[in-house]
A and B are shown apart, each in its own frame.
Chain A
Amino acid sequence: MTLTSTVFLGVAGMASLGMAMERHHEQIWEGTALTKQRGWVLRVAGWLLLALAAVLTVRLQGASMGITLWVMEIGLASACVALLLSYAPRMLPWLAITALLAGWIIH
């Protein structure tokens, strides 16, 4: 498991949390309402990915360094998600999938 793959997990997690929000869901899938179930699944998946990234980063780098890295990385990930939602919202699901795949391949 490498540090890079944990970054990708963070990106996928943040993207998933973004897709779970009504406003952004509307931006990505115009006209399709966010069902309760779908929102719930996306949210849980997002938090699980973030938690997984945290656990792996701490295991790789120790508690103090790991937590620092994780906080900074998910901050950067959320900034990427925000920018994508502003400039090309429909790309967000693809970002999530790509990040997941990249995380899987590099690990």
Chain B
Amino acid sequence: MKESGFRQVNSWLHTWSGLLLGWLLFAIFLTGTLSYFRQEITYWMQPELHASQAREQTAEHAVQAMQRLAPDAASWQITLPSERNSTVRVRWYDQGERVTKGGGKSVTLDATTMEPLSGRPTAGGEFLYRFHFELYGMDRTWGRWIVGAATMFMLVAIISGVIIHKKIFIDFFTFRRRKGQRSWMDAHNALAVLSLPFHFMITYSGLLLFMFLLMPWGIDAAYKGDMRAFFSDRGRAVSPAPGPDAKNQAAPARQAMAPVGPMLEAANKQWPQGIASISVSQPGRAGSTMELRQKGAQTLLNHASGERVVFDAGSGALKETIRADVPGAGTSTYNVFSALHRLRFADIWLRWLFFVAGAMGTAMVGTGMILWVVKRLPQKRKGRYHAGHRLVERTNVAAIAGLFVAVGTYFWLNRLLPASLPGRAGWEIHGFFIAWTSALLHAWLREHRQAWKEQLYAVVLLFAGLPIANFRYPDSHLAASIANGRWTLASMDLALLATAALAAWALWYLHAPTESAPAAKRKAKAVGQARQQTVREATP
């Protein structure tokens, strides 16, 4: 091996692992970044829910509404409005019914009137979230294996990228504009280096989340292949087991509930961020308890579960305060990484920070893919252009601009398809893939630069059009959401506009007259000299 052999090997590794999985990684990064706001996206995709607005009395009224809706239930779960969703979501289980995740009956209520609301059927942000880690239209395990393998390559690309970056500190803040390949390189480097801790964390934690799938041998050996037993043991170590199985138990005798107002007030006094949810067991019967859960979290070590207080619902007396407990070191480490990756705990500010970092990561992957093509432009100019180059440059268009077209189509179908259409949620998703496939075909049929332009035009139209189309819904459009301080909805519309603006900026860049690199350099130098001249003349 030559002197710089190590760096060269890594450069080779970085280029080809990036090329091989860049398209997939771009999609994983983009949908993952959007998943930070998956609840907000789902909420935005159901305009029927937007009139609901939280009031001071909402919690109390929700409990009263439950007494009307499900007086005989074995338990209630009430999720109160938050910044992420302005409605009240309630769930209840009948006497003797098994308590399972997603079981029982559930209804969404208006936070003011407590009337049931029905949003249009949609997979919402959940589709993007699922796609992010298990793709679509294939066996889940297969999807997860593919994404897991891509994650592994991402880790390889990050490490080899750091190794081959020659001037990681000197170039730290450097972005030289309008210099062809140099600019793409600078952009790729800056996007990678400036949020390197995030990229490393998100990739490493992504692998950890797949840990039980990709490396099950330890558990296999200890539990003799019984994964279920492992997870139930692990679950028990972290949070207390759920109450005794309500099955086959006779319902206790009736006993009126104490007024809930004072209990809520007591909890609110302790928790400045407020109450996230209420659960009541055996409401209106002897021995009924009411558990309140705190909003937000203090630490990343315990799944950010927050504090809980339990009241005796009959007397209204405080029974116990359950502090969020901190588990052992191994579980804590896993929890920190999985919490950081999934961001369940985060308030809006941290969520936006992660979103921006995720967008930078997406752009990093995108610039890397474009850089591969740009680097080979001199060969193209000389007419020595490989069929492989053509394959990559065309597929890049569909993987980058085409994915935005697909996401835009997904949102548009959500607005256009009638609410009563059978299989409506499915058609939104089909539309996403039809649009993406069409983008791929389009990129293949058109000339390369033309394909970029046309797809970027489509992105501008789709994304700028959505906030305008929202004016059809009285409580959803920008003017209403800003006037009412509904920042969840407003930021979604503003983010759509920002995406359209970014695509328009890219278009403007594509339309600017192309200059060969040396000519651009000469021009930049001339401009710089002229500016120095004027400065010198201006200063006496």
Contact assessment for A23 and B197 in the assembled complex, using a CB-CB cutoff below 8 Å: no
Q: How far is the CA of A28 from the CA of B177 in the complex (A)?
A: 16
Residues of A within 8 A of B174 (CB): 23, 82, 85
Q: Chain A contact residues (Cβ within 8 angstroms of B): what range?
A: 20 to 34
Residues of B within 8 A of A71 (CB): 197-198
Q: A45 interface residue, CB < 8 Å from B?
A: no
Contact assessment for A86 and B194 in the assembled complex, using a CB-CB cutoff below 8 Å: no
Residues of B within 8 A of A68 (CB): 300, 340, 350
Shortest CB–CB separation between residue A67 and chain B, in angstroms? Answer: 9
Question: Interface digits, B344-379 against A, CB 8 Å rule (1 contact, 0 not)?
Answer: 000001100110110010000000000000000000
- Looking across the interface, which residue of chain B has its beta carbon closest to that of A69? B350
13 A-B pairs within 8 Å (CB atoms) are namely: A64-B299, A65-B298, A65-B300, A72-B198, A75-B195, A75-B198, A76-B353, A79-B190, A79-B360, A82-B172, A85-B173, A85-B174, A86-B177
Q: How far is the CA of A82 from the CA of B175 in the complex (A)?
A: 7
Residues of A within 8 A of B198 (CB): 71-72, 75
- Looking across the interface, which residue of chain B has its beta carbon closest to that of A86? B175
Contact assessment for B350 and A78 in the assembled complex, using a CB-CB cutoff below 8 Å: no
Q: A23-B170, A65-B299, A79-B360 are in contact. Are A72 and B350 (CB under 8 A)?
A: yes
- Besides A24-B173, A72-B198, 16 other CB < 8 A contacts? A3-B349, A18-B173, A30-B535, A65-B297, A65-B300, A68-B300, A72-B354, A72-B357, A73-B353, A75-B197, A76-B353, A78-B172, A78-B173, A79-B195, A79-B360, A85-B175
Question: Interface digits, B278-308 against A, CB 8 Å rule (1 contact, 0 not)?
Answer: 0000000000000000000111110000000
- Looking across the interface, which residue of chain A has its beta carbon closest to that of B304? A65
Q: B64 interface residue, CB < 8 Å from A?
A: no
Q: B55 interface residue, CB < 8 Å from A?
A: no
Question: Interface digits, A1-45 against B, CB 8 Å rule (1 contact, 0 not)?
Answer: 001000000000000001001011000001000000000000000
Q: How far is the CA of A23 from the CA of B170 in the complex (A)?
A: 8
Q: A99 interface residue, CB < 8 Å from B?
A: no
- Looking across the interface, which residue of chain A has its beta carbon closest to that of B197? A71
Residues of A within 8 A of B535 (CB): 30
Contact assessment for B298 and A62 in the assembled complex, using a CB-CB cutoff below 8 Å: yes
Contact assessment for A64 and B300 in the assembled complex, using a CB-CB cutoff below 8 Å: yes
- Looking across the interface, which residue of chain B has its beta carbon closest to that of A19? B173
Q: B176 interface residue, CB < 8 Å from A?
A: yes
Shortest CB–CB separation between residue A20 and chain B, in angstroms? Answer: 11
Contact assessment for B340 and A78 in the assembled complex, using a CB-CB cutoff below 8 Å: no
Shortest CB–CB separation between residue B104 and chain A, in angstroms? Answer: 33
Residues of A within 8 A of B177 (CB): 86-87
Q: A81 interface residue, CB < 8 Å from B?
A: yes
Question: Interface digits, B496-529 against A, CB 8 Å rule (1 contact, 0 not)?
Answer: 0000000000000000000000000000000000
Q: B336 interface residue, CB < 8 Å from A?
A: yes
Q: How far is the CA of A44 from the CA of B298 in the complex (A)?
A: 32
Contact assessment for A62 and B194 in the assembled complex, using a CB-CB cutoff below 8 Å: no
Q: A48 interface residue, CB < 8 Å from B?
A: no
- Looking across the interface, which residue of chain B has its beta carbon closest to that of A89? B173
Residues of B within 8 A of A83 (CB): 175
- Looking across the interface, which residue of chain A has its beta carbon closest to that of B183? A86
Shortest CB–CB separation between residue B205 and chain A, in angstroms? Answer: 12
Residues of B within 8 A of A82 (CB): 172-175, 190, 194
Q: How far is the CA of A23 from the CA of B357 in the complex (A)?
A: 26
Q: How far is the CA of A3 from the CA of B535 in the complex (A)?
A: 41
Q: A21 touches which one: B173, B176, B195, B340 (CB < 8 A)?
A: B173
Residues of A within 8 A of B354 (CB): 72
Residues of B within 8 A of A73 (CB): 353
Mark out the residues of chain A between 51 and 107 whose CB falls within 8 Å of any chain B CB in the assembled complex. Answer: 62-65, 68-69, 71-73, 75-76, 78-79, 81-83, 85-87
Q: B106 interface residue, CB < 8 Å from A?
A: no
Contact assessment for A81 and B300 in the assembled complex, using a CB-CB cutoff below 8 Å: no
Contact assessment for B173 and A81 in the assembled complex, using a CB-CB cutoff below 8 Å: yes
Mark out the residues of chain B between 177 and 230 whose CB falls within 8 Å of any chain A CB in the assembled complex. Answer: 177, 190, 194-195, 197-198
Q: B532 interface residue, CB < 8 Å from A?
A: yes
Residues of B within 8 A of A3 (CB): 349
- Looking across the interface, which residue of chain A has its beta carbon closest to that of B298? A62
Residues of A within 8 A of B176 (CB): 86
Q: How far is the CA of A71 from the CA of B354 in the complex (A)?
A: 11
Residues of A within 8 A of B298 (CB): 62, 65
Residues of A within 8 A of B195 (CB): 72, 75, 79
Shortest CB–CB separation between residue B317 and chain A, in angstroms? Answer: 31
Residue from the set A18, A71, A81 with the largest chain B CB neighbour count within 10 Å: A71
Q: Which 5 residue pairs of A and B lie closest in terms of their CB atoms, listed nearest first?
A: A64-B300, A72-B353, A86-B175, A82-B173, A75-B195
Shortest CB–CB separation between residue B184 and chain A, in angstroms? Answer: 14
Shortest CB–CB separation between residue A44 and chain B, in angstroms? Answer: 17
Contact assessment for B170 and A62 in the assembled complex, using a CB-CB cutoff below 8 Å: no
Q: How far is the CA of A68 from the CA of B197 in the complex (A)?
A: 10
- Looking across the interface, which residue of chain A has its beta carbon closest to that of B177? A86
Residues of B within 8 A of A62 (CB): 298-299
Q: A69-B353, A79-B360, A86-B175 are in contact. Are A64 and B532 (CB under 8 A)?
A: no
Q: How far is the CA of A13 from the CA of B369 in the complex (A)?
A: 33
Residues of A within 8 A of B197 (CB): 71, 75
